[in-house]
Chains A and B, each alone.
Chain A
């Protein structure tokens, strides 16, 4: 019988048959932590009794969630992380370099890798064909010590994509639509595997957006096969030798097949306080927003900023709507400056935040007030997510966020294209 992508990768990395439902021990190619889960990971590592990292050069610390630090306690956590990097010889990306998942995509992930991060959106690297998944601090601590971890090989859902995105409709709209269909726990413990003839038109930036949100349907991983687009992305980032072809077998066994015609999608939003509470923009438009936030590991890439800049160029944000923009990495920021996007956005009234997680998780840089409503390009709208349980978060694409910032209310971006 043929194998899914998940079975293939875990089979190779565990040197076993690895069929859905099996428990395997797999080699970990990259293990990383970020600044809000890293300190506990370090404490658990030290308590485990191991002194050295199994793979120091494949262990990475990212300071992105609370960077620059908003208070002394988090600054002290940063000191702990920097000291651990010096002690163990692992890699560290300090504040301002960007969001862990973006940097993993730009600099580390490649087809067939197993990647563990102490962050749920580690699934982002599935866009490059890596079996990438989030785990807690203890699991990552043990992976740092042993260079491996245990998995239950997941059953897979095949998401079959056909057609082309209409104007004004993007990867974010697709993944919000899918999560609405599957439900926030509909793919719990499963792998989402993307396929279909539309893949040849889905860019790496879009794939990263889609894979990033697989976890919002409960999935363990969101996997794309590798292809010409994967290879070009790796070459562009100086890692062409990491490419290898990887696709599921034709006769692989899927627990469920979901087909989507991209041509029939429209701009979508997730409404408070659940990511699977999804409606088309046409049904939500007119709702006043006090803040629009464009960025995060979901939608802070160059392509996202290009779309926002195109809509906002020569226009102004609504006076009652703050517009925050956080590029996903230093490289994204530099390229957005070179291409003039940053100038267009600043002239339109945007506040540019440093590369990092920014307002996404409620620590700093755009915490909402009581009763305020934010339209965010992030991946989560749970109650309290942006620092205040009395606030409301809607999720949408960068185009919808940009158009809504101009009008001060939720707006269908197709009105501006």
Chain B
């Protein structure tokens, strides 16, 4: 896992947030105009999401962390879902579980996704993520959570900032054990 130390505030969502919740298919005509597409991030699931991220990132000294429940990002393979979350200003995602394709897509876009017991995190909580130790400190509640480890190849991709920068550098997949 790349060294990731991040301090920020949580915006909490529930279970089973699908890619249709994150960026509905009806906006497919905006997919070649990512800034315009990103304006609609999570607008059906949490209409105030984009403005909350903006407000938080302006006022807090830290980052914004999206915290979700089970099976975050289920559904479509649209990578746009991870792109618009990152473009909105979110620095990392914490979830209890994440759907397979979304997980790869987020890492491929340099957006860290860590799995932990998100029941222990409330909306607005202040968090400190230290991926080196695999610990997440909930500074609001005083609870410390353990987070998951990802396979080395995903860590390496994340470390380069995503799959395309990784491939630009290595020109191939490099498996390290």
Contacts and interface: CB of A to CB of B under 8 A. Distances in A.
B54 to A, nearest CB: 22
Interface stretch (A89-97, A137-145, A236-244, A252-260): A137-145
Nearest to A154: B100
Contact of A37 (B20, B26, B79): B79
A47 interface: yes
Contacts of B20: 380, 382-385
A388 B100 CA distance: 26
A385 B27 CA distance: 11
A274 interface: yes
Nearest to A24: B175
Given A49-B168, A119-B77, A135 B25 contact: no
B76 to A, nearest CB: 5
Interface in A181-206: 184-185, 188-189
Interface stretch (A69-77, A106-114, A279-287, A402-410): A69-77
A265 interface: no
Interface in B158-177: 162-164, 167-168, 172-173, 175
B25 A361 contact: yes
B99 A146 contact: no
Contact of B33 (A49, A73, A138): A73
A367 B173 CA distance: 42
Given A77-B32, A184-B16, A363-B29, 5 more contacts: A36-B28, A74-B28, A117-B77, A138-B162, A218-B100
Contact of B173 (A118, A134, A137, A150): A150
Interface of B: 16, 18, 20-21, 24-26, 28-33, 44, 70-71, 74-80, 82, 97, 99-101, 104-105, 108-109, 151-153, 162-164, 167-168, 172-173, 175
10 contacts: A65-B28, A74-B28, A119-B76, A138-B163, A141-B164, A146-B167, A149-B173, A185-B70, A218-B71, A382-B21
A56 interface: no
B104 A139 contact: yes
Contacts of B24: 362, 384, 387, 389
Which interface residue of B101, B151, B175 has the most chain A CB atoms within 10 A?
B101
A382 B175 CA distance: 37
Contacts of A136: 77-79, 82, 101, 104-105, 108
Interface string A344-368: 0000000000000000011100010
A39 interface: yes
A49 B168 CA distance: 6
B32 A362 contact: no
Given A142-B167, A184-B71, A134 B77 contact: yes
Contact of A150 (B25, B79, B82, B153): B153
B148 to A, nearest CB: 12
B104 to A, nearest CB: 6
Contacts of A37: 77-79
Contacts of B82: 136
A188 B31 CA distance: 27
- Leading 7 A-B pairs by shortest Cβ distance: A136-B79, A185-B71, A136-B105, A73-B29, A361-B25, A138-B108, A134-B77
A71 B31 contact: no
B122 to A, nearest CB: 23
A220 interface: yes
Size category of the A interface is: 35 or more
Nearest to B45: A383
Interface string A61-92: 00001100011011011001000000000000
A120 B153 contact: no
A150 B24 CA distance: 28
A71 B162 contact: no
Contact of A383 (B30, B44, B97, B109): B44
A48 B104 CA distance: 17
B75 A380 contact: yes
B105 A138 contact: yes
B44 A66 contact: no
A414 interface: no
Which interface residue of B16, B26, B75, B100 has the most chain A CB atoms within 10 A?
B100
A160 interface: no
Contact of B79 (A50, A137, A361): A137
A36 B31 contact: yes
A146 B163 CA distance: 13
A44 B97 CA distance: 27
Which interface residue of A76, A150, A367 has the most chain B CB atoms within 10 A?
A150
Contacts of B108: 136, 138-139
Contacts of B18: 382-383
B26 A387 contact: yes
A374 to B, nearest CB: 14
A37 B19 CA distance: 13
A288 interface: no
A12 interface: no
Interface in A25-67: 25, 36-37, 39-40, 44, 47-50, 65-66
